[in-house]
Amino acid sequence: MRILLVEDDETLADALYRAFVQSAYAVDLVANGDQADKALSIHTYDLVVLDIGLPGMSGFDIVRRLRARKSRVPVLILTALDTLNDRVRGLDLGADDYLTKPFDLPELEARVRALLRRGHGNSTPDLVHGKLRLDTVGRRLFHDNQPIELSARELALFELLLMKEGRVVSKEQMVNHLYGWGDDVGPNAMEVYVYRVRKKLEAYGCTIRTIRGMGYLLEHSDNAAD
């Protein structure tokens, strides 16, 4: 999943960036409101974590312009502005959640997971494919409650395929969801990761088809192995 983190406090931004990357999210970090607005007009994100008091455009204006472009990307406002009027304004402009500073990191991470699930139409923390179960909180994959070892990137790729089960996912979509700006992505990176995931999971009845010229498709789990 790809997150845009908009925060001008360098210490906090660095801590949040590290926490999100450790959870296997791709993260783009900006510290300026105008840069955030430009990024949101060009790139596709699964979530925006947004400060309000920013150099340049304010966080409130970023949300307003984002919704005016008909974008439905979830927005979590993270700010020291804690008055009732500020919270009401942010939510009325189209933010999905509002957390005031200081905050506890586990609560922020839980809210992030909830918004990401909601943004992809999932109501529970588990994604299921046959007898495969992906725990999005613990970031672990299981078959009949037995763990299956995947790297963080492999897990993120399989999570994306799970959320779009039965639909073709292009290489471009994979890159956009799994890599941030600073990541060096080779032309064959997605082919390598898909190959690894396919080999590790085919014994569990997981079929990832290559749709030539389009991308990859995780077939529905009706015939998944027991």
* pLDDT score of 104 more than 90: yes
Neighbour-count burial of 144, counting CB atoms closer than 10 A to its CB (0-12 exposed, 13-18 middle, 19+ buried): exposed
70 with 163, same domain: the answer is no
For 135-183, write each residue's pLDDT tens digit: 988 889 999 889 999 998 899 899 999 988 999 999 988 888 888 877 7
61 with 81, same domain: the answer is yes
Contacts of 76 (CB under 8 A, 6+ apart): 47, 48, 49, 50, 95, 96, 97, 98, 99, 108, 111, 112, 115
pLDDT at 163: 87
CA angle 194, 120, 209 (to 5 degrees): 25
C-alpha pair distances (Å), 146 with each of 131, 134, 149, 208, 221? 10, 11, 10, 21, 18
**Average pLDDT of 125-132?**
88
pLDDT at 4: 96
pLDDT at 123: 63
- Per the rule left: phi > 0, alpha: psi between -120 and 50, beta: everything else, 139 is left
18 with 93, same domain: the answer is yes
Rounded to two decimals, the pTM is 0.78
Task: Supply the CATH number for residue 209's domain.
Answer: 1.10.10.10
In the chain, the number of structural domains is 2
63 with 144, same domain: the answer is no
For 12-66, write each residue's pLDDT tens digit: 999 999 999 888 888 999 999 999 999 999 988 999 999 999 999 999 999 999 9
45 with 94, same domain: the answer is yes
10 with 108, same domain: the answer is yes
87 with 13, same domain: the answer is yes
133 with 114, same domain: the answer is no
Which of 84, 119, 154 marks a domain boundary? 119
Distance CA 26, CA 21 (A): 6
Contacts of 114 (CB under 8 A, 6+ apart): 97
Quickly state the pLDDT bin for 222 (edges 50, 70, 90). Answer: low
C-alpha pair distances (Å), 128 with each of 16, 95, 110, 140, 174? 29, 29, 20, 12, 20
111 with 135, same domain: the answer is no
Mean of the per-residue pLDDT values of the chain = 90
Which of 85, 119, 153 marks a domain boundary? 119
**What is the end-to-end Cα distance of the chain in Å, rounded?**
29
51 with 71, same domain: the answer is yes
* pLDDT score of 226 more than 60: no
Among all chains, which residue has been given the structure tokens 């080999």?
199
- Asked if omega into 187 is within 30° of 0 (cis), the reply is no
Domain that residue 200 falls in: 126-223
**Taking Cα atoms as reference points, which of 56, 49, 107 lies closest to residue 74?**
49
* pLDDT score of 118 more than 90: no
83 with 17, same domain: the answer is yes
Neighbour-count burial of 113, counting CB atoms closer than 10 A to its CB (0-12 exposed, 13-18 middle, 19+ buried): middle
For 170-192, write each residue's pLDDT tens digit: 998 888 888 887 777 766 888 99
